[in-house]
Amino acid sequence: MDPLIKQILFALLTIFIVLNYGLIVQGIVRKIGARVGRRYGIPFYQPYIDIIKNYSKRTRISHGIMYYIAPVFRLTGGIGLLLFIPVIFGNNMFQNFSFSGDLLLILYFQFFGVLGMALGAAESGHPNSAIGVSRGLSQVTAYELPLTLGVLSLAVQYNTLNVSEIVAAQQGGILNWSFFTNPLASIALLLAFLAAMGRSPFDVVLAPQEIPIGPPTEFHSGFLGVLQLNRAIFPIAKLILFMNLLFGGATNWGELIIKTFFIYMWSVFVGVAFPRFRVDQSVRWYLGVPLIIGVAAVVVSKFF
């Protein structure tokens, strides 16, 4: 079999595995949140039901072309991020196309879906769409600063922008993980991770208790189904990225599931323990301590 075709087939298999893992984890996390609030919660398989339900519906609403492309942009950002990072270290079948990209490309994919949704909101026809766009872009810009500085610190530490090489440098034991060898970069990245996952106290864009509009209602039927697929893939792709950068990657699927689940629990714990920030509070917070820690991480990596 042609090597490229073989690589594409394994990439599709990776997407299938990550999609199902993401849907199951999504259901489990919602169940955990409900139990913390002393509610029974949904069954863990509810995300599957939601996707089937949305894809069975049709819409007669007509907007500009960017409105229809926006969910595709969003899903492309999640799949692109997943396919350009090594999922299973040392396994050629699940390296995907990580040899063709580096951390700069990955940072671009982090922002790609957000930009697509911002462009789509402009053609949604809702007068408050600009408010949602400003909220989203303000917070993304704020948390991207410590995120980028943390990534640059690791790039300076390991003298490479290649994710596979960063994972390789962390092999040999837990104490070789970046989490222990570069604690400042780890703190900056894990704080930025909270907003990147879109959970409370940083869910200022959807603000489900405050705004009865936005993507979940503006985009419905198959469009909402596409967004739901991305909400399963994109968070897991980010979990795998942070696992690779800070926790030595994974050499098998079992290790990947254990590590990513506990990384996810960091955002879940904070989300159920703290109420939501306002937009200005969220931006000010990220331009404070996390930004200072990110700058310190780069300085320490460069001169020490």
Q: How many CB atoms lie within 10 A of CB 92?
A: 11
Closest-CA residue to 124 (of 58, 218, 188, 39): 218
Q: Is 172 left (phi over 0), alpha (psi -120 to 50) or beta?
A: left
Please give the single-letter amino acid code of residue 109.
F
Residue with tokens 């222990």: 180
Exposure string over 109-137, b if 16+ CB within 10 A, otherwise e = bbebbbbbbbbbbbbbebeebeebbebbb
Q: CA–CA separation, 113 vs 18, rounded Å?
A: 18
Task: Determine the structural domain holding residue 72 and report its residue range.
Answer: 3-303
Distance CA 58, CA 286 (A): 40
pLDDT of 197: 87
Residue 40 CB burial class (10 angstroms; 0-12, 13-18, ≥19): exposed
pLDDT in tens, the chain (304 residues): 677 788 888 888 999 999 999 999 989 988 888 888 788 888 888 989 888 888 887 776 667 777 778 888 888 888 988 888 889 988 888 888 876 668 888 888 887 777 777 777 777 667 777 777 777 788 888 999 999 999 999 999 999 998 989 999 999 889 999 999 999 999 999 999 998 888 888 887 766 555 555 555 667 777 778 888 888 899 999 999 999 999 999 999 999 999 999 999 999 888 888 888 888 888 899 999 999 999 999 999 877 6
Backbone φ/ψ region at 38: left (φ over 0), alpha (ψ -120 to 50), beta? left
Burial (Cβ within 10 Å: 0-12, 13-18, ≥19) of residue 37: exposed
Tell me the C-alpha distance between 20 and 48, whole Å.
9
pLDDT of residue 242: 95
How many alpha carbons lie under 13 Å from residue 44 in its C-beta half-sphere? 8
Residue 51 near residue 229, CB atoms below 8 Å: yes
Contact between 29 and 115 under an 8 Å Cβ cutoff? The reply is no
pLDDT score for 77: 86
Structure tokens at 110: 């982090």
pLDDT at 10: 86
CA distance 236 to 250: 14
pTM of the model: 0.89
**Residues 202, 290: Cα–Cα separation, whole Å:** 14
Q: How far apart are CA 250 and CA 125, in angstroms?
A: 45
For the chain, what is the domain count? 1
103: its two tokens:
């951390």
**C-alpha separations of 82 from 111, 177, 185, 233 in Å:** 14, 21, 22, 8
Size of the chain, expressed as the number of residues it contains: 304
pLDDT at 207: 63
Three-state SS for 52? helix
Residue 5: how many other CB atoms lie within 10 Å = 9
What SS3 class is residue 70? helix
Question: Taking the CA atoms of the chain, what radius of gyration do you get in angstroms?
Answer: 19
Phi, psi (deg, nearest 5) at residue 144: -70, -25
pLDDT at 156: 92
- What is residue 288's predicted lDDT score, i.e. its pLDDT? 92
